[in-house]
Amino acid sequence: MDSWAVDSPVTLVLKAPNQKYEDQTINCFLNWTVERLKTHISNVYPSKPLSKDQRLVYSGRLLQDHLQLKDVLRKVRAAEI
């Protein structure tokens, strides 16, 4: 992940566990913390969930608020998409 620029934009797909809402695509940055991402989700997700009520899971791992996205996201090559 060293080749990633921390101010690079990334696109994430949010999936609701209850499938009440369709998958949502959002843009964010690798230098954001999980807490910052939750704040962004509160503003852009259809149900406007409070940050404190969100549980973000990536690759089976519950993401802690203090972590930066660059440290938890794995790089995906275009061929994997």
Q: Does residue 22 belong to any structural domain of this protein?
A: yes
Judged against a pLDDT cut of 50, whether residue 6 lies above it is answered with yes
Counting the structural domains of the chain, the total is 1
Structure tokens given for 76 = 């995906």
Q: Does residue 34 belong to any structural domain of this protein?
A: yes
* 8 A C-beta contact, residue 21 and residue 47: yes
Q: Does residue 44 belong to any structural domain of this protein?
A: yes
Please work out, in degrees rounded to the nearest 5, the angle formed at the alpha carbon of residue 22 by the alpha carbons of 69 and 17. 65
**Which pLDDT score, from 0 to 100, does residue 24 have?**
94
CATH code of 55's domain: 3.10.20.90
pTM over 0.75: yes
Q: Distance between CA 1 and CA 49 in Å, rounded?
A: 30
Judged against a pLDDT cut of 80, whether residue 81 lies above it is answered with no
Range of the domain at 50: 9-75
Judged against a pLDDT cut of 50, whether residue 79 lies above it is answered with no
Judged against a pLDDT cut of 60, whether residue 2 lies above it is answered with no
Q: Does residue 81 belong to any structural domain of this protein?
A: no
Model confidence at 8, in pLDDT bands (50, 70, 90)? confident
